[in-house]
Structure 1
Amino acid sequence: MQRRSLIAACAAAPLFAALPVRIASAHHGWSGYDVRRPLYLEGRVAMVRWTNPHAHLELEPASDLSLPADLVRRTLPAQQASVDTAEVLGNAQLPKRRGGPWTLELAPLFRMQAWDITPLEVGDTISLIGYAAPLEEGQAVMRVEFLFANGKAYGLRSAPV
């Protein structure tokens, strides 16, 4: 009986070893976001879920949404400037979808804490640049790249230096 249990355990081990890899790769499916078209949003936070693995918000966009005149000149953290900040800010556009809430996925909590970002609250007004996922069942989902909140700018792609 013990031999059969050992053989069964050995046969199952490769299946269990592969399981965490599949979960991890499923979690980081950024390929579904359109990184060729950065979008600008501004509005009021309607829901906050500040939990692992990523903070999530629901945003009610401003009814008079427009691109700020100073968007291209906004100062962002130094480590972002060396990557593609000017290009992303310069190419930002308004979403084609008007009205309705947007679900926002922010950086992992350890990165949000490294930036010393105070958890946002319902009612806060924020603006951001990010990349939208294809619309599914009318739900708008965005991965946030740059967050402008409480008078500060954050580049959520990397941790502060």
Structure 2
Amino acid sequence: MTHLQRRHVLLAASAVPLGVHAHHGWSSFDPERPIYLEGKVLKVRWQNPHAELELEIPAELKLPVDLAQRVVPAQTSPVDGKALLAKAVLPNRKDRRWEVELAPLTRMQAWQVQEIKTGAVVSVVGFTLREEKGDAVLRAEYLFVDGKTYGLRSSPA
């Protein structure tokens, strides 16, 4: 590598913003085991590649008795939302803080999701990393906020 090439690499590396964290590819998540989380929003990152929340989960998290009966909106992707909600379980791990990956901002806008504020209480059903290894991360499939349900895999049908 020439001196000029090394300089370009260094300049490009220095352009990466501080605080950037690893992005998990969708294949890292376990689609066979939907997880339910509910908690208070501690941090919000309303940006691409997808909006993210940091949730503080109560120590005594329980599955809502009505979860399987909740109405799920139609999406352009074929998703059996009722089956996902009926199959949802609590995570095995006991982390009190979870990173929740939502959808790209264009999809959040298509669903007309208002930017979620710190302090809000939300719930999600989604997928964790396989065998819940590594970070406490959940890719949200459904978002429940302010009495509304949003399907995040694709756009509204």
TM-score, with structure 2 as normaliser: 0.79
Query: Which residue number corresponds to residue 114 of structure 1?
Result: 110
Unaligned runs of at least 5 residues, structure 1: 1-26
TM-score, with structure 1 as normaliser: 0.77
Q: Does structure 1 conserve the Cα–Cα contact (< 8 Å) formed by 2:41 and 2:56? A: yes
1:61 equivalenced with 2:54 (yes/no): no
Structure 1 residue 64 displacement after superposition: 2.0
Percent identity between matched residues is 51
Tell me which structure has the larger Cα radius of gyration.
1
Bigger helix share: 1
SS at match of 1:77: coil
Aligned counterpart for 1:91 among listed residues 72, 87, 106: 87
1:47 equivalenced with 2:51 (yes/no): no
Q: Does structure 1 conserve the Cα–Cα contact (< 8 Å) formed by 2:39 and 2:58? A: yes
Aligned counterpart for 1:152 among listed residues 145, 148, 151: 148
Cα deviation, 1:62-116, whole Å, max 9, x if unaligned, reads 2221011100000011237963112111110000111321011100000001111
Query: Which residue number corresponds to residue 129 of structure 1?
Result: 125
Unaligned runs of at least 5 residues, structure 2: 1-22
SS at match of 2:68: helix
Q: Does structure 1 conserve the Cα–Cα contact (< 8 Å) formed by 2:76 and 2:155? A: no
